[in-house]
Amino acid sequence: MANANTTAPSIAIVTLGCAKNEVDSQEMAVKLARAGYAVTRDPEEADVIILNTCSFIQVATEESIDTFFELAGLERVVGGESKIVLAGCMPSRYGADLEAELSEASAFVPCSREDDIVEVVADLLPDRVPEPAILEPDGTIGANEYALTTAGDSPFVAYVKISDGCDRMCSYCTIPFIRGRYHSYSLDEITADVAYKVKSGVREITLIAQDTGRWGQDFEERSSLAALMDHLAKRFPQTWFRVMYIQPEGVTDELLQVFGDNENICRYLDIPFQHAAKPVLRAMNRRGNADAFLKLIAHIRETVPDVTLRTTLIAGFPGETEEQFAELIDFIESAELDYVGVFPYSREDGTRAAELEDQVDEEVKQERAQEVRDLADSISAARIADRVGKRIPVLVLGCEEDGQLFGRAQCQAPDVDGVTYVSAGKPGDIVEIEVTGTLMYEMEGE
Ligand code: SF4
């Protein structure tokens, strides 16, 4: 149903939350672009604004609501010329309740319905359905399709989701209720996604999911994350591969072997321990304890020298005593991790932890989180400073306003670990540098 209107409606996607949302936004943008819509990065000029929300904790939900009302206040939205679609985790978590609360939205698209985004937009603008784009033989709108549609800030880096959902049911977590049961994506799907991004000029691929270490275990013919990473690293030797969100149980010797065998796999492991005191971990419905985690860390460092380790920790979980918090502090001191993300416990409706007795006082939670933050930062700064004099490869990503080139090394994950300033190279190049200085998370080199 082609319409008389030649100017295709423009669609802007505003992405909040995690890297998984970035992937979902890019996939929605590709569908819309191939259907003939004009994808724009400027919500002010868009005919439809898709807000891809995050809602796993209260703070994220509040940010999504604030952003929604900011967009609802835009001139063209107020004037009725532009419509807002609320997508992602908030409609998945709150469903119909939202429609009453956020009546300014013209449509609500939970994660499970994002594949229908073209129909949703067509229903909103029935008189302006564009002619589908003329696609290249490879089915894309052109070699720059990824660069045009990525929600990320660089065309040289990309995330690839390898599974969705989670079955672990950690007692504080809402994600299983938002993203559903765990299911791996197939090897062919993932390989095709990587090939598409590599063909578009991407040099670094970060594999993501809620539970990356579980990849392939739900297949009839079981496989493993190690097999997947080995396959990708050998199939795309010019591309860096990184993996995030591996639960402790997912770090196998097979995986560490693959890290050692493939130069283009970043020697970087992000393992969310969440806590170290056994009673707290059990109340979180998680396994392990400080000793087991320290043994795992020692084994990883023995098997993969120069490995960079990141974790996530929660402070102030219900029932956490002074002694258990002290055990967490001792663990951080002994583990000496390179990077630590720390959250004060967030009491989330619908989770089992929210019903637990002995909720920790908000002030105490914040104090404990700050204490963990300060200690972890001091350890990170020292470990990063130890890199001075080392020769490392850096993927050049861009130029700052003052012309300073920057990039990231294999020991720096996107969006969380800072950048490296370099003196030569152009965006997309991988250059060898000698680290000459560091400042907290940032590095510089010749
Ligand atoms: S493993 Fe992660 S996503 Fe899954 S329930 Fe636990 S915290 Fe949530």
Say if residue 396's pLDDT is above 90.
yes
User: Mutation test of ligand 1: which of 93, 166, 183, 274 has the most ligand atoms closer than 8 Å to its C-beta?
Assistant: 166
Ligand 1: distance of its center to the CA of 35 in Å?
A: 35
Q: Please write the tens of the pLDDT for every residue from 231-263.
A: 999 999 999 999 999 999 999 999 999 999 999
Is the pLDDT at 218 greater than 60, yes or no? yes
pLDDT value at position 311?
A: 98
Tokens representing 235?
């199939």
Tokens encoding 221: 């013919």
**Ligand 1 closest atom vs CA 169:** 5
Listed residue (293, 296, 297) closest to 277, CA to CA? 293
Which residue has a Cα nearest atom 8 of ligand 1? 173
Give 292's contacts (C-beta < 8 A, 6+ positions apart). 248
Burial of residue 336 (CB within 10 Å: 0-12, 13-18, 19+) is middle
The pLDDT value given to residue 75 = 95
Q: Is the CB of 443 under 6 A from ligand 1?
A: no
Query: Is 0.85 surpassed by the pTM of this model?
Result: yes
Ligand 1 pocket residue status of 169, Cβ below 6 Å: yes
For residue 2, the model assigns a pLDDT of 46
CA 367, 63, 37 angle in degrees (round to 5)? 150
Q: What are phi and psi of 75, to 5 degrees?
A: -50, -50
Q: State the pairing for strand pair 339-344/391-399.
A: unpaired
Q: Pick the most confident of 93-97, 152-156, 157-161.
A: 157-161
What was the pLDDT predicted at 244? Answer: 97
Biggest CA-to-CA distance, the chain: 71
pLDDT exceeds cutoff 90 at 148: no
Mean pLDDT of 32-51: 96
Q: Cα of 319 to ligand 1 centre, how many Å?
A: 20
Task: Please give the average per-residue pLDDT across 34-63, as a whole number.
Answer: 96
- Residue 421's contacts (CB-CB under 8 Å, 6 or more residues apart) are 404, 405, 406, 442, 443, 444, 445
107-110/83-88 β-pairing: parallel
Q: In which band, very low, low, confident or very high, does the pLDDT at 126 lie, cut at 50, 70 and 90? A: very high
pLDDT value of position 153: 78
Q: At what angle do helices 322-335 and 362-385 cross, to 10 degrees?
A: 10
What percentage of the chain carries pLDDT values higher than 90?
90
Model pLDDT for residues 397-440, shown as the tens digit of each residue: 999 989 999 999 999 999 999 999 999 999 999 999 999 999 88
Q: How much is the CA Rg of the chain, to the nearest whole Å?
A: 23
Minimum CA distance residue for ligand 1 atom 2: 210
**Cα–Cα distance, 313 to 166 (Å, whole number):** 19
User: H-helix or E-strand containing 107?
Assistant: strand 107-110
**Does ligand 1 lie within 6 Å of residue 168's CB atom?**
yes
112/110 Cα distance (integer angstroms): 5
CB 83 within 8 A of CB 10: no
What is residue 6's predicted lDDT score, i.e. its pLDDT?
54
Confidence of residue 150 (pLDDT cuts 50, 70, 90): confident
pLDDT band at 53 (very low <50, low <70, confident <90, very high): very high
Helix segments in 239-361, DSSP class H: 253-261, 278-283, 290-303, 322-335
3-state secondary structure of 147: helix
